[in-house]
């Protein structure tokens, strides 16, 4: 049987060209691993519906290569799993809700079409949180079964692209599509020891994705290496007339981005770039040393920073006034998510037309009470008297962060993605992440989400208990290529990526 552990895009396509194995054999090897370890055995539970035509599609790609001597596109024959938030033609797509267990879209999301055009083989769908809005991996469509962390089966994988994170980490695919509103790519990337990029919203179309906050939502690539992440991004960005936010993609193209025609063009210069970089450390968002969970994260992240400092990277401490306020107050889940989700449901006449008719106001499952609150928010966000102020303060925060980076000449800001390691399953229900009756999950990912900046999570290392920890780098709008190059340097110098323990 073909060994697909840690295989990259380049290695796979070299195998195709040299006749070592075919795209069909590669897809089959991943599907076999999914059957053995995801659907049975350890039952990681990272996947949902699987394609019934993937092997046939891979065979067509093999025939194309044999007939033409050429690859069909940048992702020729590369297996991809897609977060179940995105419509995928002919496959059950649930958006993380039991109400959509029988929903089979008749067309692909814009991004899925782009990936297929690039030659990707879509293997299936990955688990996500309920309506992509919960910090834990459970959802009604899979009867609230956790997705297990491949590095410790008693721990969760994070929200809400957790299935994508676990599947990439466990070598069930080479690439996966994630989506990030408040941290849903970066949290599972950190928890699963992989690379995940949140691009500037509007670089990648959201057409065919069930939204959460349209002004913050963005799909993005998840992979085991920075290079694969960059190559996947190439095949995801682009203008879509059905998503007016992709004016950002049109602007990026007009600016000549990515330089050199690919986000991967200059990655090998990333080692020199990180050594010469000036990075701002946001120590305000490191957890207290008095908390052993936070101390474990701090130890790993600071060790990574010291290793980079020893290599030549300049680090400076930065301070942002009222940071805790700015990272929380401008969030508009409670004000506009109901309206945004309902606008998507309006395109699915066979589903309920109001999420308030799907979820109760209060659930017996505490981890979805925030989702229930979202579902019963105002029908029109403008009906909330705080909405305008939140938008104004959001934009004020963005200006403060922009000016901080520019005035200090920083290449990026850095901080832990999350202040604690991957939580245990029981933490979803035992009140650990509740404060004064409100959900208080210790993520740092809102910094980039509120400012709508790009951010990348790179493996930083492991706690003494063997739990993965990620380090996040935040840049300015349109700095995806810059961040990827920095991340390549981090990946090369720190070298924290490793496969999950046996038998995976």
CB 419 within 8 A of CB 285: yes
State which residues form the domain around 319: 9-494
Length of the chain: 504
What average pLDDT is seen over the chain? 98
Q: How far apart (Å, rounded) are the C-alpha atoms in residues 253 and 352?
A: 39
User: What mean pLDDT comes out for the span 138-159?
Assistant: 96
**Model confidence at 1: pLDDT above 90:** no
User: What mean pLDDT comes out for the span 456-468?
Assistant: 98
Which tens digit of pLDDT belongs to each residue from 74-118? Answer: 999 999 999 999 999 999 999 999 999 999 999 999 999 999 999
Q: Is residue 128 part of a domain?
A: yes
User: What mean pLDDT comes out for the span 431-458?
Assistant: 94
Report the pLDDT value the prediction gives residue 447, as an integer from 0 to 100.
98
For 473, half-sphere exposure in the C-beta direction (CA atoms, 13 angstrom radius) is: 31
CATH number at residue 404: 3.90.1300.10
Which tens digit of pLDDT belongs to each residue from 271-302? Answer: 999 999 999 999 999 999 999 999 999 999 99
Can you tell me which residue has the tokens 């949180």?
A: 129
Report the pLDDT value the prediction gives residue 435, as an integer from 0 to 100.
86
Q: Is residue 1 part of a domain?
A: no
Report the pLDDT value the prediction gives residue 13, as an integer from 0 to 100.
98
Q: Report the percentage of the chain scoring pLDDT > 70.
A: 100
Residues that are catalytic: 83, 160, 184
Q: Is residue 195 part of a domain?
A: yes
Report the pLDDT value the prediction gives residue 437, as an integer from 0 to 100.
78
User: What mean pLDDT comes out for the span 125-137?
Assistant: 97
Contacts of 193 (CB under 8 A, 6+ apart): 151, 169, 459, 462, 468, 470, 496, 497, 498
Q: Which of 29-38, 131-140, 413-422, 428-437 has the lowest mean pLDDT?
A: 428-437
Q: Is residue 465 part of a domain?
A: yes
Which tens digit of pLDDT belongs to each residue from 203-231? Answer: 999 999 999 999 999 999 999 999 999 99
Indicate the pairing of strand 195-198 with strand 218-223: antiparallel
What pLDDT band is residue 335 in, cutting at 50, 70 and 90?
very high
Report the pLDDT value the prediction gives residue 57, as an integer from 0 to 100.
98
Q: Is residue 499 part of a domain?
A: no
Domain count, the chain: 1
Q: How far apart (Å, rounded) are the C-alpha atoms in residues 63 and 71?
A: 10
User: What mean pLDDT comes out for the span 15-39?
Assistant: 98
Q: What 3-state class would DSSP assign to 296?
A: helix
Which tens digit of pLDDT belongs to each residue from 374-412? Answer: 999 999 999 999 999 999 999 999 999 999 999 999 999
**Model confidence at 159: pLDDT above 90:** no
CB 81 within 8 A of CB 120: no
What pLDDT band is residue 436 in, cutting at 50, 70 and 90?
confident
Q: Is residue 121 part of a domain?
A: yes
Q: Is residue 4 part of a domain?
A: no
Q: Is residue 502 part of a domain?
A: no
């Amino acid at each position: 049987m073909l060994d697909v552990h840690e295989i990259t895009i380049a290695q796979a396509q070299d195998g195709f060209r040299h006749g070592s194995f075919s795209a069909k054999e590669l897809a089959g090897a991943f599907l076999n691993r999914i059957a053995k370890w995801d659907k049975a055995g350890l039952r990681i539970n990272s996947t949902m519906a699987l394609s019934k035509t993937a092997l046939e599609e891979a065979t067509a790609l093999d025939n194309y290569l044999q007939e033409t001597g050429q690859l069909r596109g940048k992702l020729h024959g590369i297996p991809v799993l897609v977060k179940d938030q995105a419509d995928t033609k002919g496959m059950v797509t649930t958006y993380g809700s039991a109400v959509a267990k029988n929903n089979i879209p008749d067309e692909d999301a814009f991004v899925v079409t782009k990936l297929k055009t690039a030659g990707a083989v879509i293997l299936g769908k990955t688990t996500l949180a309920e309506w992509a809005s919960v910090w834990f991996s459970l959802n009604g469509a899979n009867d609230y079964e956790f997705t297990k962390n491949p590095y410790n089966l008693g721990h969760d994988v994070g929200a809400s692209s957790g299935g994508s994170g676990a599947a990439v980490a466990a070598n069930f695919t080479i690439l996966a599509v994630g989506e990030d509103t408040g941290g849903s790519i970066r949290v599972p990337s950190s928890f699963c020891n992989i690379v995940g990029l949140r691009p500037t919203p509007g670089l990648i179309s959201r057409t065919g994705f069930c939204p959460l906050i349209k002004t913050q939502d963005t799909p993005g690539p998840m992979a085991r290496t920075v290079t694969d992440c960059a190559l996947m991004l190439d095949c995801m960005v682009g203008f879509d007339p059905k998503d007016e936010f992709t004016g950002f993609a049109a602007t990026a193209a007009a600016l000549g981005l990515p330089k050199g025609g690919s986000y991967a063009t200059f990655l090998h210069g990333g080692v020199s770039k990180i050594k010469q970089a000036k990075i701002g450390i946001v120590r305000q968002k490191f957890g207290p040393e008095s908390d052993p969970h936070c101390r474990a994260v701090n130890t790993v992240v600071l060790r990574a920073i010291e290793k980079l400092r020893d290599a030549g990277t300049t680090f400076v401490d930065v301070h942002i006034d009222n940071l805790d306020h700015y990272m929380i107050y401008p969030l508009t889940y409670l004000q506009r998510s109901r309206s945004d989700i309902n606008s998507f449901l309006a395109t699915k006449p066979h589903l309920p037309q109001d999420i308030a008719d799907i979820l109760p106001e209060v659930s017996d499952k505490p981890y979805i009470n925030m989702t229930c609150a979202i579902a019963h928010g105002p029908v029109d966000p403008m009906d909330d008297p705080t909405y305008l102020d939140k938008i104004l303060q959001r934009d004020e925060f963005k200006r403060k962060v922009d000016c901080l980076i520019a005035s200090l000449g920083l290449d990026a800001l850095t901080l832990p993605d999350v202040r604690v390691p991957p939580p245990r399953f029981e933490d979803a229900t035992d009140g650990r992440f509740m404060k004064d009756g409100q959900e208080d999950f210790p993520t740092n990912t809102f910094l980039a989400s509120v400012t709508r900046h790009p951010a990348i999570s790179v493996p930083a290392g492991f706690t003494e208990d063997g739990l993965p920890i990620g380090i996040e780098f935040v840049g300015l709008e349109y700095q995806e290529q810059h961040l990827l190059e920095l991340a390549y340097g981090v990946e090369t110098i720190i070298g924290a990526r490793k496969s999950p323990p046996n038998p995976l």
